[in-house]
Amino acid sequence: MKFKFGKENIVCGCSDLSYGTLVFLDDVLKEKVIKNRHKFFTRLGIRLENTVFAGLAHGSKVSLVTEKDRGKGAFDSNSSLANIDGMVTSTKNTFLIIGTADCFPVFFYDPKKKVVGLAHAGWPGVLSLVCQKLVKVMQRNFDSDSKDLQVLLGPGIRSCCYDLTEVPERLKKFSDVFEKEVIKVHNNKFFGLKNRKFLDIISAIKIQLTGVGVLPENIQDSKICTCCEHDKYPSCYYTREISDKRKPTKRRMLSVIGIIRYQGPGASEIN
């Protein structure tokens, strides 16, 4: 899926399950993953050689990415940027990548300074304010004004599905930081249970973005829930809590953002 985001020279999108396994696992042939990745990135008009993968840690460390980082994590997992949950770059044809299954990819674009960013926002990263930290890295290094920033919230698990009634300590952590508005009470559609407590990570992300000056009208939402659309996107929560506890998904959705060197309408780095 390609998101329309910013001007024509921004590539921004997510993979879906149709591309097969896109992350390196012990029981999957490396060549197969590389082939699947080539297929996905070619579809977006970019080269796998120019992608940079974050080696996620559910933290809030943000890295500045430049030309020298191209290819890190693209052909093996060991060379990905270790313990990084946010990346920022102004280098053209250098594409930021994260792999998720329920955690939110949050895409950033500063059209004035020509800078892009990508954050991995799962519940621990959201609690440690990864999105705010990414905005601060853009401000500090590129003199970005948060009022100029365009933000897009990608697919992830939403308050329609993320039932944490049995995990009250996690809900408390969120209500301590973001107030009660991030907890929604409704019925669990999978089990028919009434008055359950659901975590609304999207609201928590919006609160932290507007807290550092991002304008609400500049926040776009893909509105895709990975758990509702588990046939199309990988969802750890769906496989672990609803379908088969013994077989949590090993699939990951890849998210990508980058600035393509402009070559005219429908720009692509692949001719």
Residues 166 and 5: their CA atoms lie apart, in Å, by 37
Nearest distance from C-beta of residue 234 to Zn ion, angstroms: 14
Site membership for Zn ion, residue 101 (CB under 5 A) = no
Contact pick of 34, 160, 212, 215 for Zn ion (by CB under 5 A): 160
Site membership for Zn ion, residue 242 (CB under 5 A) = no
Q: Which is nearer to Zn ion, 227 or 236 (CB)?
A: 227
Contact pick of 121, 130, 225, 257 for Zn ion (by CB under 5 A): 225
**Radius of gyration of the chain from its Cα atoms, rounded to whole angstroms:** 18
Site membership for Zn ion, residue 161 (CB under 5 A) = yes
Cβ-closest residue to Zn ion?
225
Q: Which is nearer to Zn ion, 17 or 228 (CB)?
A: 228
Q: Which residues pair with 150 in a beta bridge?
A: 109
Site membership for Zn ion, residue 227 (CB under 5 A) = yes
User: Please, are residues 75 and 24 in contact by the beta-carbon 8 Å criterion?
Assistant: no
Residues 150 and 216: their CA atoms lie apart, in Å, by 10
User: Please, are residues 153 and 202 in contact by the beta-carbon 8 Å criterion?
Assistant: yes
Token pair 């609400």: residue: 216
Q: Contact region for Zn ion (CB under 5 A) — 102-110, 122-130, 159-167, 253-261?
A: 159-167
Q: Contact region for Zn ion (CB under 5 A) — 36-44, 136-144, 153-161, 263-271?
A: 153-161
User: Please, are residues 95 and 46 in contact by the beta-carbon 8 Å criterion?
Assistant: yes
Element containing residue 12 per DSSP (H, E): strand 10-14
Residue type, 77: S
User: Please, are residues 131 and 91 in contact by the beta-carbon 8 Å criterion?
Assistant: no
Token pair 């008009």: residue: 45
Site membership for Zn ion, residue 201 (CB under 5 A) = no
Residues 121 and 226: their CA atoms lie apart, in Å, by 14
Nearest distance from C-beta of residue 160 to Zn ion, angstroms: 4
User: Please, are residues 257 and 110 in contact by the beta-carbon 8 Å criterion?
Assistant: no
Residue type, 177: V
Residues 39-78, one symbol each (x = binds Zn ion by CB under 5 A, - = not), give ----------------------------------------
Site membership for Zn ion, residue 228 (CB under 5 A) = yes
Nearest distance from C-beta of residue 24 to Zn ion, angstroms: 28
Q: Contact region for Zn ion (CB under 5 A) — 18-26, 160-168, 231-239, 240-248?
A: 160-168
Q: Contact region for Zn ion (CB under 5 A) — 58-66, 144-152, 186-194, 224-232?
A: 224-232
- Kindly list the residues in this chain that would bind Zn ion in the complex (CB under 5 A): 158, 160-161, 225, 227-228
